[in-house]
Amino acid sequence: MIDQILSNFASFTTTDIIRFAIDILIVWYLFYQILMLIRGTKAMQILFGLLIFVALYVISRPEIADLSTLNWTLNQFIGSFIIIIVIIFQEDIRRGLSVFGKTGSLTAPINETTHDTLSPDAIEEIVKAASLLSERRIGALVAIQKDAVLDQYMVQGVKIDAKITKELLVSLFIPYKANPTHDGAVIIRHQRIDSAGCFLPLSSNDKIDQQLGTRHRAAIGLSESTDAVIIVVSEETGAISIAEKETLTRRLSSEALRDYLHKAFVTTVRPDDSVGSSALVRKFKAWRNQSSHKEK
């Protein structure tokens, strides 16, 4: 068998090898872009489920494990597999095409899905703003991006693109008719206030406490589809809550909010940071800076 493989490779021309390499690189690049696009979203979990489905189908085939009943059952779905994928990932497909349409580049998903962080100063400004809003019982909803991009929720919002400050955050939620952003959500990403007055998806979970208002339902709804951290200040009670990973943590003190944000955005160590190419680049830059300092 090995001799046959080697003989087949021996028959390849240089052009064939180049074509084969380009083919593999294109497929790898597209697959990697898709993974980066859905990283941090619920679609990632669904994708793993589909991969398990495909693996079971391959294993159940007659030439491998010959699990006839399982193979017949799974075979009924394979014919509609493409349609199923389009239906399940329609939001992500639309978002990916939108990014490509705006930028004309397939590299946008990678650039936009890098894990966001917050500096201690930015966290302090957010905590101060939440505390002040809580004291005055002014309702607020702040979504902080992590891996999953939140572009689709900014479409109907107001572009801000400003430094994170307590004063600006509070002013965006002050309830008066001339303020178009007070009823919507503020979205923070790349250490800046990106947009305000944004609309977030409401959770349809029937098990949610019926006493929770629209802001809390919107926070949970976004946490169900992305990995964002969402801060909610109740207009009725002034209580501060955080929604993340489909879980709402309620009645947080300022200290608890500060600790939560530090753990989520400052001390987080991602598994791929130790082996990823971006980590290698950072280590090389750090080494180069150290070398330059020594030379000086």
- Spell out the per-residue pLDDT of the chain, length 296, in tens: 556 655 666 677 788 788 888 888 888 877 776 676 666 566 666 777 778 878 888 888 888 888 888 888 888 777 777 777 777 666 666 666 655 555 455 444 444 445 678 999 999 999 999 999 999 999 999 999 998 888 889 988 999 999 999 999 999 999 987 898 999 999 999 999 999 999 999 988 888 888 889 999 999 999 988 889 999 999 999 999 999 988 999 999 999 999 999 999 986 444 444 334 444 444 444 444 444 444 44
| Residue 186 in domain | yes
Instruction: Output the pLDDT for position 43.
Output: 65
Same domain, 261 and 124: yes
Number of other residues whose CB lies within 10 A of the CB of residue 231:
28
User: Of 61, 95, 112, which residue is a domain's last?
Assistant: 112
How many domains does the structure of the chain reveal? Answer: 2
| Residue 243 in domain | yes
Same domain, 260 and 177: yes
CA dihedral (43, 49, 52, 56) positive or negative: negative
| Residue 138 in domain | yes
CA 216/CA 141 separation, integer angstroms = 8
Angle (CA) 32 34 37, round 5°:
110
User: Of 89, 112, 135, which residue is a domain's last?
Assistant: 112
- Model pTM above 0.85: no
| Residue 248 in domain | yes
Same domain, 45 and 167: no
CA 46/CA 187 separation, integer angstroms = 26
Same domain, 148 and 174: yes
Same domain, 145 and 191: yes
Give the CA radius of gyration of the chain: 24
Structure tokens at 22: 């380009």
Same domain, 128 and 254: yes
Same domain, 107 and 139: no
Count of alpha carbons within 13 angstroms of residue 193, beta-carbon side: 28
| Residue 27 in domain | yes
| Residue 233 in domain | yes
Range of the domain at 238: 120-265
| Residue 280 in domain | no
State the SS3 of the chain: CHHHHHHHHHCCCHHHHHHHHHHHHHHHHHHHHHHHHHCCCHHHHHHHHHHHHHHHHHHCCCCCCCCHHHHHHHHHHHCCHHHHHHHHCHHHHHHHHHHHHHHCCCCHHHHHCCCCCCCHHHHHHHHHHHHHHHHCCCCEEEEECCCCCCHHHCCCCEEEEEECCHHHHHHHHCCCCCCCCCCCEEEEECCEEEEEEECCCCCCCCCCCCCCCHHHHHHHHHHHHCCCEEEEECCCCCCEEEEECCEEEEEECHHHHHHHHHHHHCCCCCHHHHCCHHHHHHHHHHHHHHHHHHHC
Identify the CATH number of the domain in which residue 227 sits: 3.40.1700.10
Instruction: Output the pLDDT for position 112.
Output: 47
Same domain, 133 and 80: no
Instruction: Output the pLDDT for position 288.
Output: 47
Instruction: Output the pLDDT for position 42.
Output: 62
Strand-strand pairing, 192-198 and 247-252: unpaired
Same domain, 75 and 166: no
Same domain, 99 and 134: no
Same domain, 244 and 145: yes
Q: Which of 200, 191, 190, 223 is nearest to 141 (CA)?
A: 200
The answer for residues whose C-beta is within 8 angstroms of residue 270's C-beta and 6 or more apart is: 115
| Residue 170 in domain | yes
Residue type for 174, please? I
Same domain, 124 and 259: yes
